[in-house]
């Protein structure tokens, strides 16, 4: 008696669904946050760390770049481009970049050099190279034509970070004693509120000797 022929084995079903290379929901969450943000906002992958793995976040941000919703400024730094009717696509502000960097690394930053003088109205120069002192790691971040330089310094130099006195000390240091003119001091008196000028005396010992009489005059003026 012949054995009954065996039925052919069914082929194993294979999924035709495309393989996902991002974790579910991450791209949608990042897209939602980017679309709700103002043009000119700067992002780092660390700002989305609570959503999932770094690899998945990087992939999602790359897709947003491909769609034109984000622009890659440099490694690990992106912005939501802002448009001007006459100038076209603008670069992000220094403040926006600094906000993203400090949010990522919890850094303290103190403007220095020509940028500190510009912030106080003591110089019309808008430097393409913006320098900050920091208690974090030294690094240089490029954003289009602009360079933001973070220089690690001593605790003494950072003691007045976040206070008006720290900004004034760095601005006057960048100008030098020969360029701290009566006109510039008059400008500071108009720019800085009286209570903040009075507080300069609290950080007097953090300033170099040549600058201390100037700070006393500002505080009492």
CB 34 within 8 A of CB 43: yes
Cα–chain center distance at 123: 22
Give tens-digit pLDDT for 116-147. Answer: 999 999 988 878 899 999 998 898 988 888 89
- Non-local (6+) Cβ contacts of 185 within 8 A are 214, 217, 218, 221
The number of beta carbons lying within 10 Å of the beta carbon of residue 161 is 20
* Mean per-residue pLDDT, 156-169: 94
SS (H, E, C) the chain: CCCCCCCCCCCCCCCCCCCCCCCCCHHHHHHHHHHHCCCCCEECHHHHHHHCCHHHHHHHHHHHHHCCCCEEEECCEEECCEEECCCEEECCCHHHHHHHHHHHHCCCEEEEHHHHHHHCCCCCCCCCEEEEEECCCCEEEEECCEEEEEEECCHHHHCCCCCHHHHHHHHHHHHCHHHCCHHHHHHHHHHCCHHHHHHHHHHHHHCCHHHHHHHHHHHHC
Distance CA 73, CA 82 (A): 13
Q: Is the pLDDT of residue 161 over 60?
A: yes
Give tens-digit pLDDT for 28-75. Answer: 999 999 999 999 999 999 999 999 999 999 999 999 999 999 999 988
For residue 179, the model assigns a pLDDT of 93
Give tens-digit pLDDT for 103-123. Answer: 766 778 999 999 999 999 998
Distance CA 216, CA 133 (A): 24
pTM of the model: 0.77
According to DSSP, the residues that pair with 79 across neighbouring strands are 42, 71
């Amino acid at each position: 008696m012949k054995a009954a022929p065996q039925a052919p084995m069914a082929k194993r079903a294979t999924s035709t669904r495309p393989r996902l290379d991002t974790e579910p929901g991450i791209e949608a969450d990042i897209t939602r946050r980017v679309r709700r943000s103002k043009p000119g906002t700067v992002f780092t992958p660390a700002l989305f760390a609570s959503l999932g793995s770094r690899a998945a976040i990087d992939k999602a941000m790359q897709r947003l770049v491909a769609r034109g919703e984000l622009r890659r400024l440099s490694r690990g730094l992106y912005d939501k481009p802002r448009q001007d009717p006459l100038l076209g696509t603008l670069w992000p502000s220094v403040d926006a970049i600094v906000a993203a960097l400090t949010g990522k690394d919890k850094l303290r930053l103190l403007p220095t050099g020509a940028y500190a003088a510009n912030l106080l109205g003591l110089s019309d120069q808008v430097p393409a190279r913006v320098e900050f002192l920091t208690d974090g790691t030294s690094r240089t971040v490029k954003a289009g034509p602009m360079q933001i330089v973070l220089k690690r310094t001593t605790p003494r130099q950072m003691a007045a970070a976040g206070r008006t006195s720290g900004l004034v000390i760095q601005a006057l240091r960048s100008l030098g004693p020969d360029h701290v003119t009566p006109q510039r001091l008059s400008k500071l008196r108009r720019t800085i509120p009286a209570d903040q000028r009075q507080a300069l005396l609290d950080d007097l010992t953090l300033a170099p000797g040549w600058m201390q009489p100037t700070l006393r005059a500002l505080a009492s003026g």
